[in-house]
Amino acid sequence: MRPSQSQKSIRPSYHHGDLRQTLLRSAKQLIAEAGIENLSLRRLAERAGVSRTAPYHHFSDKNDLLCAIAAEGFRRRHQTAAAEFDNKAKSMLEKFHVYMNSYVQFAVDNPEEYELMFGRSIWKQQNSTEELRAVAYPCFQHQVDMIRCWQSCGVISGDNALRSAQVIWGALHGIAKLFIDGIYTDTAKIEEVTQCAIDMFIAKTI
């Protein structure tokens, strides 16, 4: 039996301690600082105090590492979204408000991570990891389920649940991206834009 330091990782590293987690942590930090396009495995290794190729024993690829970070993002987002939706103290309409604002806010607060999670680099071609898909698809599905739910209880109008869900998610994604990428520049009006989207989507009580 090894002296168990295995609190945060099933199988801690031998030489470094826990290189995998260290790399993930540094990577997230470096991305937040300098953007995805400035993340290099070599700089990452340097920060962790190991040689350039050490990361390759924990991630098969640069893409593999990116997928791992994105997966973590999906887990986090899924958790908060689920918690917000399960809040029994709020009405369905209120929770729709919360969901819409929370989505855009998450994206704007973590622009680089959001870019990574929904960017082409990960999803195009066959780049997505098994692990990533296993985490992301339920997250997608949950979004669709929630919207379907709002629709069936009359908060949202329309008769085709899936299509409406795709449109609303599209709107959230588009608004978030236009702000993140610097095309919508008036970031002080993020909530106003989101509020306008809410107004346009909720069912009009005649």
Site residues (CB under 8 A) for a second copy? Answer: 35, 37, 115, 118-121, 123-124, 140, 157-158, 160, 163-164, 166-167, 169-178, 180-184, 192-193, 196-197, 199-201, 204, 206
Backbone angles phi, psi at 32, to 5 degrees: -60, -35
53 lines the binding site for DNA (CB under 7 A): yes
Q: Choose the contact partner of 40 out of a second copy, DNA, none; CB within 5 to 8 A by kind.
A: DNA
When asked if residue 31 is in the footprint of DNA (CB under 7 A), the reply is: no
Residues 201, 168: contact at Cβ < 8 Å?
Answer: yes
Amino acid found at 149: C
- 68/103 Cα distance (integer angstroms): 21
Residue among 51, 141, 157, 160 that touches DNA (CB under 7 A): 51
Q: Which is nearer to DNA, 12 or 158 (CB)?
A: 12
Residue 67 interacts with DNA (CB under 7 A)?
no
Contacts of 171 (CB under 8 A, 6+ apart): 197, 201
Per-residue buried b or exposed e for 100-123, using 16+ beta carbons within 10 Å of the residue's own CB: bbbbbebbbebbbbbbbbbeebbb
> Segment contacting DNA (CB under 7 A): 14-22, 68-76, 95-103, 183-191?
14-22
Residue 6 as a binder of DNA (CB under 7 A): the answer is: no
Shortest Å, Cβ 29 to a second copy: 19
- Residue closer to DNA by CB (options 21, 166) is 21
Q: Which does 50 bind (CB under 5 to 8 A by kind): DNA, a second copy, none?
A: DNA
Q: Which does 86 bind (CB under 5 to 8 A by kind): a second copy, DNA, none?
A: none
Q: Are the CB atoms for 65 and 59 separated by under 8 Å? A: yes
Show the CA angle centred on residue 60, arms to residues 47 and 177, nearest 5°: 75
Task: Give 58 or 77: the residue with its C-beta nearer to DNA.
Answer: 58
* Proportion of the chain in helix, strand, coil states, percent, rounded to 5: 70, 0, 30
Contact between 55 and 20 (Cβ < 8 Å): no
Q: Which residues bind DNA (CB under 7 A)?
A: 2, 11, 13-16, 19, 39-43, 45, 49-54, 56-58, 61-63
